[in-house]
Amino acid sequence: MKIGILGATGAVGRQMLECIAERQIPADEIRVFASKRSEGKKVPFKDQELTVEVVSQERLNGLDFVLGAVSNSLSKTYRPMVEKSGAVYIDNSSAFRQEEGVPLVVPEINGEDALAHHGVIANPNCSTAITLMALAPIAKLSKIVAINACTYQAVSGAGMNGIKELEEEVDALAKGEAVTPNVFPAQIAFNVIADIGSELENGYTTEEMKMQNEGRKILHLPDLKVTCTCVRVPVYRSHSISATVVTEDHVSVEEAKKAIAAFAGDHLVVDHTPTPLENSDHDFVQVGRIRQDLINENGLTLWCTGDQIRKGAATNAVQIMEYLLDHAE
């Protein structure tokens, strides 16, 4: 089996390589691609180094899977080339998530959807994936009617430049120097910014609407109602979400805890409140502080954390590939 990775020099692309190694995916060859400026660079994989190439039809040909960790525009450019190669394209961008016929998949929740692909499978938004991992066990107990969520998203969600900006701002402020934000719309060091994505006509941002639009597709709930506020916080890695879920039938706190504890990929935390720092560089989602909502008798409120580079992006893509391999005819 041969695998290609688009955007292999970025945070998600590098994590994809780590996940392939960790999960012992049986790859005979891995080809890594990035921009022209990265051509010839080396990226580590197991006990070897892979040479970065520029994307070409010739080098895509012969691959079985291509994992995408590039921008929407680049993903749209590369898609026809990947399709021509005959490889299955598992894309981490938001370019095709809402396209009819393109499965949007979190393997633990709706892995079977991946089997109906037509060459392209989409990875969901990182906050959506982490939130739905926490809520999917509850959905098995009773249909989810509505979700009210507030995300606390790490700077790594904006890529390596987001991490760099926080580091540089902290260093500058410690020296008494002024900072000038470039990646984020305001200073992120020692601050929070409720502004992620582009603002839409309804006052919400593109990032906030992903929770509803993608949640409907993944959970197979076309009428699901979601209200969401996305906040950037000065955390390097791993997102946190406070979510209130309203179900059709009453689900008790104990029933929810039992379902979450038994759900693959979730870790129920009862002895303390999960934090993004302790969950960094892990593939599981931590869920805690599960309590009865005080407004809706069929509501539950919880807190969850997850590494958005792993479960929110790279690991999920590799898991989709694993799912296809495990269910190959």
Q: In the prediction, which pLDDT does 241 show?
A: 98
What is the gyration radius of the CA atoms in the chain, in angstroms?
20
CA–CA separation, 276 vs 271, rounded Å?
A: 16
Average pLDDT taken over every residue of the chain: 96
Q: In the prediction, which pLDDT does 159 show?
A: 85
CA–CA separation, 130 vs 125, rounded Å?
A: 9
pLDDT band at 160 (very low <50, low <70, confident <90, very high): confident
pLDDT band at 166 (very low <50, low <70, confident <90, very high): very high
Tell me which residues are annotated as active site: 126, 239
Q: Give the H or E element holding residue 303.
A: strand 299-306
CA–CA separation, 297 vs 17, rounded Å?
A: 45
Which domains, and CATH codes, for the chain?
A: 2-123+314-327 (3.40.50.720), 128-154+192-306 (3.30.360.10)
The tens digit of pLDDT for each residue in 135-159 reads 999 999 999 999 999 999 999 999 8
Percentage of the chain modeled with pLDDT above 90: 98
pLDDT band at 196 (very low <50, low <70, confident <90, very high): very high
CA–CA separation, 320 vs 112, rounded Å?
A: 10
User: Cβ contacts of residue 143 below 8 Å, gap of 6+?
Assistant: 221, 247, 248, 249
Instruction: Give the pair of three-digit tokens for residue 245.
Output: 């879920």
The tens digit of pLDDT for each residue in 217-270 reads 999 999 999 999 999 999 999 999 999 999 999 999 999 999 999 999 999 999
Q: In the prediction, which pLDDT does 328 show?
A: 82
* Phi, then psi, of 105 in degrees rounded to 5: -130, 135
CA–CA separation, 45 vs 27, rounded Å?
A: 12
The tens digit of pLDDT for each residue in 61-115 reads 999 999 999 999 999 999 999 999 999 999 999 999 999 999 999 999 999 999 9
CA–CA separation, 264 vs 107, rounded Å?
A: 10
Q: In the prediction, which pLDDT does 287 show?
A: 98
User: Cβ contacts of residue 160 below 8 Å, gap of 6+?
Assistant: 10, 11
Instruction: Give the pair of three-digit tokens for residue 133.
Output: 């991992």
* Phi, then psi, of 325 in degrees rounded to 5: -65, -40
Of 109-113, 301-305, 324-328, minimum mean pLDDT range: 324-328
Single-letter amino acid, residue 139: A
